[in-house]
Amino acid sequence: MENKQFCQSCSMPLDKEELLGTEKDGSKNQEYCSYCYQNGAFISPNMTLDEMKLLVKEQMEKRKIDQRIINMAVNSLPFLKRWKPVPVS
């Protein structure tokens, strides 16, 4: 099975080079999509996990994606790098 890479903010598949976000130097970021991350920063840095869940759900519903797939994508969000709690030392 192919090892798919997903945006670590919104869970979108990163299966095309043009979907990759960018760093300040213009290089491609391998962890985040261009809808979430550009020029070395998140586009919506203050977005909450709940806001991202709503956005992902709305965007997938617009594309008429099966509800089971939408639920899987939304439920995966808390496990992505951007949303994982930072351990306290």
- Given this model, what pLDDT does residue 61 score? 97
Round to whole Å and give the CA distance between 11 and 4. 11
For the chain, domain boundaries: 17-79
pLDDT along the chain (89 residues), means of 10: 80 94 96 97 97 97 96 96 84
User: Residue 32 class from Cβ within 10 Å (0-12 exposed, 13-18 middle, 19+ buried)?
Assistant: buried
- Given this model, what pLDDT does residue 41 score? 97
- Given this model, what pLDDT does residue 3 score? 56
